[in-house]
Amino acid sequence: MPVEFDQDPKIQAYAHPERLVTTEWLAAHLDDPGLVVAESDEDVLLYDTGHIPGAVKIDWHADLNDPLTRDYVDADAFAALMSAKGIAPDTTIVFYGDQNNWWAAYALWVTSLFGHADVRLLDGGRKKWMDEGRPMTTEVPSPAPAGYPVTERDDSVIRAYREQVLAHIGNGKLVDVRSPGEYSGELLHMADYPQEGALRGGHIPTAANVPWRRAANEDDGTFLPADQLAAIYQDEIGLGTGDDVIAYCRIGERSSHTWFVLTHLLGFDNVRNYDGSWVEWGNAVRVPIEK
Amino acid sequence: MRDALHEIVEEFADTPKELRLPLLLDFANALPALPERLEDDRDSMEPVEECQAPLFLAVEVQPDEVRLFFDAPPEAPTSRGFASVLHQGLDGATPEEVLATPNDFYLSMGLDELVTPLRMRGMAGMLARVKRRVAEGMPAAS
């Protein structure tokens, strides 16, 4: 039995309203059996300074990335992680985090690679919860191990590799979700962020540029309403819900956010996230680049 | 390396891996607030662009003592933690001690499995800026 869905009218207007919850909804359902709240942040210490009561921490770097290969953890490690966090295959996971849910969306996307069924985001993330004066705690829960079965990661549906992106140019839609300066090649990295080692600047040919942050309200970090999202992605850059779309950014985290918007909020059927993104493309030999 | 900083590096290295982030959080919480004269003059502080969260620093150089000041918001505890390590390790040091700090001193702290390389570079960025300010603030060799 999944935990009931949020009936909030704004959320019900999205294509898959079962993927998003409001802070009000979460406050009322925190103690529901079968629900685990997971915080994923850019700042690795932020959870430890205080988090939503009962929330576990899932760290994108230490928990979800393989320590050796540039890849995600394997099926055994993922099962062990879920189990340790008290998550079973039928658990409803509500992800939230800092920076407009940037890393929470990334954790949700990685969790989806392993086929976890019921994953949701908290609209507005950590900031909205705190701005509303809702409870926070530094108490770290110690959930009983949940016994998560080893499920193979399926990279074929929502993840794209470099070779696939190369073949996609001219045949499908590409969305570059980085800042305009990164897209144009003026910047090799985000403004105010360190250089991450791309040798070339620019974007993948044919990619449209929609910075990921445009999908969120500037004031409270919630997602724009469905009609405003459609105005950006469908009217402005001409994507259709049936199109074959690949999104990318720098290392695939910002584009997880856009993947969430297109797939779950607008109901696109076929969106993949190219997690190699510009750190791979901008260093690869002989791949085409446009400025 | 100055003793105070060396001791902090050893403290991290000797701490079990699962307790290193809580230790860094202790440092973050211990970062002193800005003195009033800087609180009122934040525009004079230098932004550290290598950090992923807003962090500002100020360096006051006397012939025998360097004073360090850092400012980062509570929602950036990792940056605060790094700043606090440098503060506790180098505040009050002589200019020569600051300049003699190895640029990669933090590699021995054992944080690399817990914090991304990109973030660790924030520490390097802070130290590089502190050293540059100290070098500029020293009297020219005669």
CB A211 within 8 A of CB A218: no
Provide the ipTM. 0.80
CA distance A36 to A119: 10
Per-residue pLDDT at A188: 67
b vs e for B40-69, b when ≥16 Cβ sit within 10 Å of the residue's Cβ?
Answer: eeeeebeebbbbbbebbbbbebeeeebebb
> Reduced to 3 states, what is the DSSP secondary structure of residue A47?
helix
Q: Do A48 and B21 touch (CB under 8 A)?
A: yes
Taking the C-alpha atoms of residue A256 and residue A121, their distance in angstroms, rounded to an integer, is 12
Q: Over its length of 291 residues, how does chain A's per-residue pLDDT go in tens digits?
A: 679 999 999 999 999 999 999 999 999 999 999 999 999 999 999 999 999 999 999 998 889 999 899 999 999 999 999 999 999 999 999 999 998 999 999 999 999 999 999 999 999 999 999 999 999 999 999 999 999 999 999 999 999 999 999 999 999 999 999 999 899 988 765 555 555 578 899 999 999 999 999 999 999 999 999 999 999 999 999 999 999 999 999 999 999 999 999 999 999 999 999 999 999 999 999 999 999
Lowest mean pLDDT among A215-224, A243-252, B22-31, B110-119: B110-119
Query: Which residues between 97 and 136 in chain B have a beta carbon less than 8 angstroms from any beta carbon of chain A?
Result: 113-116, 118-119, 121-122, 125
| Lowest-confidence pick of A83-97, B59-73, B108-122 | B108-122
Whether B75 and A192 lie within 8 Å, measured CB to CB: no
> On the CB side of A5, how many CA atoms lie within 13 Å of its CA?
14
Q: What is the pLDDT averaged over residues B60-87?
A: 94
What is the model's pLDDT at position A277? 96
Give the pairing of strands B56-61 and A244-248: unpaired
Cβ neighbours of residue A154 under 8 Å, at least 6 residues apart?
A113, A114, A115
A37 forms beta bridges with A94
Entry pTM: 0.90
Interface test with B, best of A39, A40, A43, A100 (most B CBs within 10 A): A43
Helix (H) or strand (E) holding A35: strand A35-39
CB A279 within 8 Å of CB A253: no
Which residue, among B111, B113, B115, would best test binding to A if mutated, counting the most A CBs under 10 Å from its CB?
B115
Q: Cα(A176)–Cα(A65) distance, rounded to whole angstroms? A: 23
pLDDT over 60 (residue B141): no
Contacts of B115 in chain A (CB under 8 A): 44, 61
Q: Residue B142 — pLDDT band, cuts 50, 70, 90? A: very low
